[in-house]
Structure 1
Amino acid sequence: MIKRRQFLISSGLALGTLVLAPSLAFASKKRSIGIQLYTLRDSLPKNVKGVLAQVGKAGFTGVETFGYSQTNGFFGTSAKDFQSILKDNGLKATSNHFDFNSYIKDGKTDILNSYIETAHILGSEYVTIPYVIQELRGKSIDDYKKLAAGINKVGEICHSNGLKLAYHNHDFEFIKFENTTGYEVLLNETDKNIVDFELDLYWVVRSGNDPLKLFKDHPGRFKMWHVKDMDKVNLDFNTEIGNGTIDFKSIFAQAKQSGMEHFFLEHESNYIPNPVESIKTSFDYINKNLI
């Protein structure tokens, strides 16, 4: 958790070695299974072309990007070249995690324009706010209302440029303020016509909340999901889908009420097992039991 948050507000990245094996060449004929590329954070920056080729061979058709910068593109690969690699491997960047903190704080449009241009080059449907720094979310209901107003401004600009905006949660949004939470404030104060939510199911459950209640209380708002399981022993750890404590069958059964249109498998920074074997295990479980 800490490593992921630090990454989202800095350019530091721990590089490791990971090569997706040909044994991952399996595919679903039902609802497509997407992958948040942060899952492959150790190998992707070192071998963008090779890793994306293996993602395509694995059967994924949708990806969600991370790590874009104005100066370095996607780990030294320009948006145009990144899109070409995606296309060559039957992949589409449905959504992109971009760092919106500077725009929400200062209103500087150059970074926002860069994100919009990049999303158009990739042919994306969504741009997504992945993480909001403490300074912006504050410590009160009013602070979250102010944040919601900033998110609405981003949503208006994205909408006017033919893109959809989504907000991705962690656990801190569920901290109680009087009789509500920051997340409830965001849901109620953002314009449902221009702001969607990418529900990270792990963080909802980890915070002690129920995704099904959110679906019931706010039907149709959760157009995208992050699907990652919670380890049975150490709740701060992820595990392969189906091996942990989260009841995904009940959650997927209410996908329509949620409004879910896309979901992305993700193994986050506190994930320990071998990524190659773990991705295959998670994909197989989702493919067989959830879609």
Structure 2
Amino acid sequence: MTYPIAYQLYSSRNFPPLAAQLPVLKAMGYDAIEPWLPAYEADPALFRRQLDDAGLKCLGFHMPLAGLAGEPQRYIEIAQTLGATYLIPPYVTAEEREPTIAYWRALGEKLARGAEAAAPHGLQVAWHNHDFEFIALDDGSRPIDHIFAAGGPAVKFEIDCGWIVRAGADPAAELDRFADRIVAIQTKDTAPIGTRQDDGWTATGDGIIDWQALVPLFRKTAADHIVTEHDNPSDWQAFASRSINHLKALGL
């Protein structure tokens, strides 16, 4: 089985205009893009036309948790305009986070309410992780487990393997643990800890993650697509090209 491969447009936010990147990504072999706010916000219909013109799809998009909680209908309509299936809140700021079980359970409950609103439209809500969800609280429990326990089975998961490694956790174990919940896999790669160039991130296949060992675990999840991402590449085209070529060489 091969997967559609999407490119997280956040990776090249520092190299505008974004619309000009789309045909380049298509020529590299990408099937889709995963936009982040505000890439699509000003005019979702225009953004969709730009995707269509480039021959790319949008399978899911990143959006604020506050938007899912406070104005879900707006983002449901954006999903419909973009042709996306997955609404993906990806982050809460350090200032918002509280080191308590109650905080993380409440976050999961917000996701569950968003998933309930999205479901009648054939849409799903997925959480995207960073490192902080895998760092234990004082009682030894982990935020990620509280998020999903409170969210219930309707809350899905876009797993970011690079951030899991940065947290000191094992992506293989998390792919196995959350296999039924994972709908998208981000193949973010990290250079050896302490690397300063490009904030320590690198193209998929150029870092310390053994992707070949993870591929069999990918296939056991419910994921229906792969996403490449790099938080701060100095050369976005080199990153994008190297990453998709490595994934295709792995048979993905």
Which TM-score applies when normalising by structure 1? 0.79
- Counterparts of 1:266-285 in structure 2, within 5 Å, are 266-269=229-232, 271=233, 273-285=234-246
**Secondary structure at 1:264's aligned position in 2?**
strand
Q: How much has 1:131 moved relative to structure 2?
A: 0.7
For 1:122, give the aligned amino acid: L
Distance 1:253 1:264 in 2: 17
Q: Do 2:136 and 2:143's aligned partners in 1 also have CA atoms closer than 8 Å?
A: yes
Q: Distance in 1 between matches of 2:187 and 2:68?
A: 28
Partner of 2:40: 74
CA distance in 2, matches of 1:253, 1:225: 13
**3-state SS of 1:67 partner:** coil
**Which residue identity is paired with 1:196?**
K
Structure 2 partner of 1:251: 214
Residue correspondences, number: 248
For the pair 1:33 / 2:1, whether they are aligned, the reply is no
Amino acid at match of 2:203: E
Residue 278 of structure 1 deviates from its aligned partner by 2.4
CA RMSD of aligned residues (A): 2.0
One-letter identity of the residue aligned with 2:237: V
| Map of 1:209 onto structure 2 | 169
Q: Is the 8 A contact 1:57 1:89 kept in 2?
A: no
1:152 corresponds in structure 2 to: 112
Contact 1:249-1:290 at 8 Å conserved across structures? no
Partner of 1:9: none
2:205 alignment partner, SS class: coil
* 1:86 alignment partner, SS class: helix
Give the aligned partner of residue 127 of structure 2.
167
- What is the SS of the residue equivalent to 1:133? coil
Residues in 1 aligned to 2:170 and 2:185: alpha-carbon distance in whole angstroms: 14
CA contact (8 A) 1:238 1:267 kept: yes
* Partner residue, 2:59: 94
State whether structure 2 residue 148 is matched by structure 1 residue 187: yes
For residue 162 of structure 1, report the CA deviation from its aligned partner.
Answer: 2.2
In 2, Cα distance between equivalents of 1:216 and 1:274:
33
**Is 1:232 aligned with 2:198?**
no
- Do structure 1's residue 59 and structure 2's residue 29 form an aligned pair? yes
Matched, 1:48 2:18: yes
Gaps of 5+ in 2: none
Q: Is the 8 A contact 1:248 1:290 kept in 2?
A: no
Check conservation: 2:68, 2:75, Cα contact below 8 A.
Answer: no
Is the CA contact (8 Å cut-off) linking 1:36 and 1:266 kept in structure 2?
yes
Whole-Å Cα distance in 1 between the matches of residues 60 and 41 of structure 2? 17
TM-score (norm 2): 0.90
d(CA) in 1 for partners of 2:34, 2:202: 20
- SS of the residue 1:249 aligns to: helix
Instruction: Tell me how far 1:290 sits from its aligned partner.
Output: 4.6
Contact 1:219 1:259 (C-alpha < 8 Å) held by counterparts: yes
Q: CA deviation at 1:233?
A: 5.3
- Show the counterpart of 1:121: 81
Match of 1:84 among 40, 49, 69: 49
Aligned-pair CA distance for 1:102: 5.2
- CA distance in 1 between partners of 2:103 and 2:129 (Å): 16
Per-residue deviation at 1:31?
2.8
| SS of residue in 1 equivalent to 2:182 | coil
Quick one: which of 224, 227, 245 aligns to 1:264?
227
Moved over 6 A (4+): none
Q: Secondary structure at the match of 1:281?
A: helix
Query: What is the percent sequence identity of the aligned residues?
Result: 26
